[in-house]
Structure 1
Amino acid sequence: MPNQALKRGAIPSPRSALAAAVPHAARIGAPPNIMMYPQKISMWGNDTHGDCVTAEEAFAKACNDPEIFISDDEVIRWAKAHGVLEGATLVEVLKAMQDDGFAGAGVTYDDGPYYSVDWTDSRILQSAIAAGPVKIAIAADQIEAAWHSTHGATGWFATGFKEDVHLDHCVSLCGYGSLSWLAQQLNVDVPAGIDGSKPGYGMFTWNSIGIIDQPSLSAITGEAWLRQPTTVTKSG
């Protein structure tokens, strides 16, 4: 997919929303490594629309046990109905998903309450990921280049990033561990010249899961959120 279309669509959340957010507190007993790797993922409309913030919600539902697959049509319908098909803040989608989530067969898949996550503190971030996928806002130029390095196939590596504060995309952190361990989970090799013992994170975007090292994650991230629980299933 060398010419695969890619869209973005994240808008930085207002400072007031960030200041008012309840922070996630690190919990004791997070596992040393974890990877959420759903059997079925998708673009969820992010190849034709700037609905990355909503597409990430569909990925988070796919990380449920058992997995919940939301169709592309439902993601696009939901985003259009809530006025977020071509751009959204993370907070407005998190709020809307609590009361009016994705429609399933006789059920609705909502979000639980959301909490801010300090992504600069690995202990707090890993504790949050152990509780569920962490929704983050990033500057995506360097991630897009990493995605293209595998033509969009799962297993791309993101390392050596420079600081970029121009947030324009929403992705999901779905795992953590050493770069070597994460690569094993995705059945790929660590590229030559990269120290596999260094810590990293699994990252979903654009119908793929890649691996990003800690310094690169810090260089491009501007906000992070944990839903607790990630999915609330309501009948009717």
Structure 2
Amino acid sequence: MTSLQDAEQIFGDFNFTGGFPTSKDLGPSILFAILYGLSAPVLIWRIFRKQDRTIIFVRLGLFWLCRMAALIMRAIMAKNTYGAQETAAEVCFVALGFLFLLDPFSDLWKRHVDSVVPISERPWVLKLALLAAVATAIASACMISGAVYDPAKVNSLKALRLSSYALALGVAGLVFVMLVVTHFLYKLDTRRSAYLFFIGACLVIVASYRVAQESSNNRNSPARSDVAFWVLQITFEL
């Protein structure tokens, strides 16, 4: 086990979402862990209820596990010394969790359109949904690769992380725009569309923050502050 200073020396060239956990992260980590814990019974019930048993809730379950793991690790790291392995794991959980929200969002949009649009007019919609799913999978693979630290590949890994963040933003933005277009084009149900608009706006905000944070080289930038992380990512994901 190494200290925070050792971890910063090892990973110093990386700009991690949320930064290195410090004592200031203990309170927010516990608070959000409790909030996520309170949501667990509802999520489990929806996963196992026969009429709701879809892959969407399985993906949401994976998001819940990633986010809970990140919050627990962040709380522990806030009050204890930690090293490279703990840092890499926490970063991976924070980064991957968001991707498990994108695919359900694109799937919900697709189902919303399928409920109204005739089969003969759906192919282009299905192709866009497939594009969103493929892009999400690629972004996920990039995140996994970027979590592995190699001193000889610092610049390439930083570029890979930024590319995957930008790709995730592109997916969220694309589905949100197509949601707006299809709502007015096919006169979709307003209440369902409004619900998806709200979800999409939250995801676009999170994705935009991640790109701004990752691309910032200024340690004093507002995008790299603890407040930005807890509000613009963790809160909007919840």
TM-score normalized with structure 1 length: 0.23
Higher relative contact order (CA 8 A, sep 6+): 1
TM-score normalized with structure 2 length: 0.23
